[in-house]
A and B are shown apart, each in its own frame.
Chain A
Amino acid sequence: MSREEFVRRFGFALRDLPWRTRRELAADLENHLAEIPPDVDLLERLGSPEQYAADLRAAAGLERRRGPIAFLRARRPRNVVLTVLALTVIGLAIGAVVWIDSYQPLATGNAAYEPGAQASPTGDGSYVVFREGKPFHYGMTIWNSGRFTVRVVGIPIEYHLPISYRLLMSEPTTFDYGGIPQPFTPFHPFDLKPGEERGIVLRGVYNEPCDIRGTGSINWQSIPVRYSFLWHTSTVQVPLPEPFAFVFRKDASAGCPATR
């Protein structure tokens, strides 16, 4: 057995001891091995590295150590610091990613419908009665209530509404403006700075009644806004300032084919 191998196995047998103690004992052993003539059989003189370690442990009164504290003390302090630093950086990075992925500062400021919206009898919103071909525009402001700029990239209304419309947008304004500033231009992605808001307007007519069967209402509680923040892009349902409903007093699909 080479001397290096002897020292390595000796160190391994004492791996529960504090790193500094182990290093001192290994240095003592290296010094001792350097004094032993090269032609001497190490195993014959010293026994196995494990036996040598056990005898030295007994003579020095070094008890076997167990538990998490002993485990940490047995590690090289520099490695412990580096591991803690690495885990801290990883933890912060994970936290940052989770925070960025969940960052959602968008809210609606106010909303307006024209023409003919009526307050709900229950007082919890407004509604409009569906009439095919009637023009309308419905607008709301999207407000950045957070501390960082986000980019609004779309209003992906995927659920079916009995309307056809164009999506428009206003110039930016501040949240305390209190209205939806004009003029409106076709929607395109825009940055929304902290405290800033923009009007989003759906302008169109009621149509496609054949997709609506029977009477009742379609209730609108929120608007989908697709936005991006740093690398993260997602769609969030931003609650409307107040619920809005399309009410069908009579079967709008009367006269339509049985199926489409």
Chain B
Amino acid sequence: MDQTQLLKGVLELAILSVIARGETYGYEILSTLENAGLDGVGDASVYGTLRRLEQAGHLSSRLEASDSGPARKYYSLTASGRRELSKGTETWTRINGALNGIVHP
């Protein structure tokens, strides 16, 4: 089964969850996802999702100068983002439980 397609469905939840741990930037989010084993997520998908979440008001961002190059864009959850994360987590838990019951009867 194509892992990429599966990941796309939960990428938003994964990103919100990573940012919920604390303010962070795109490349760090990407590295966190890869280190967690979600290495099939494309860079463009992460940055595209970050933009969509920010446009939807779930994330806020600020630029901070970086010693190593251009300024980094740090993201944090808004109140709306926290609600979205809560709803997503609840949905994911329900689907995960249901799928576990089907896949591992």
Question: Chain A residues in contact with chain B, CB under 8 A?
Answer: 24-25, 27-32, 34-36, 45-47, 51-62
Contact = CB atoms under 8 A, between A and B. Distances in A.
Given A32-B43, A34-B68, A45-B43, A56 B48 contact: yes
Given A28-B73, A30-B70, A35 B48 contact: no
B20 to A, nearest CB: 20
A31 B72 contact: yes
B51 A55 contact: no
B47 interface: yes
By CB atoms of chain A within 10 A, which of B8, B11, B45, B51 has the most?
A: B51
12 contacts: A31-B25, A31-B72, A32-B26, A32-B27, A35-B69, A45-B43, A55-B45, A56-B44, A59-B49, A59-B52, A60-B55, A61-B52
B101 to A, nearest CB: 31
B14 to A, nearest CB: 13
B40 interface: no
A98 B26 CA distance: 59
A56 B47 contact: yes
Nearest to B66: A34
Interface of B: 8, 11, 25-27, 42-49, 51-52, 55, 66, 68-73
Contacts, number: 74
Contacts of B55: 60
B69 to A, nearest CB: 3
B69 A55 contact: no
B44 A28 contact: no
A59 B45 CA distance: 5
A35 B8 CA distance: 23
A31 B70 contact: yes
A186 to B, nearest CB: 81
Given A46-B44, A52-B44, A31 B51 contact: no
A34 B26 contact: no
By CB atoms of chain A within 10 A, which of B8, B42, B44, B55 has the most?
A: B44
A27 B72 CA distance: 10
Contact of A31 (B8, B44, B49, B73): B73
Nearest to A58: B48
Contact of B43 (A25, A27, A52, A54): A52
B70 A60 contact: no
Contact of B49 (A32, A34, A45, A60): A60
A46 B27 CA distance: 13
Contact of A34 (B42, B44, B51, B69): B69
B71 A31 contact: yes
B48 A55 contact: yes
Given A32-B43, A35-B69, A56-B48, 12 more contacts: A25-B47, A25-B51, A27-B70, A31-B72, A46-B43, A59-B8, A59-B11, A59-B44, A59-B46, A60-B48, A60-B49, A60-B51
Contacts of B44: 46-47, 51-56, 59
Contacts of A54: 44
Nearest to A24: B51
B47 A32 contact: yes
Nearest to B68: A34
A51 B42 CA distance: 11
A59 B11 CA distance: 10
A32 B70 CA distance: 9
A144 B46 CA distance: 76
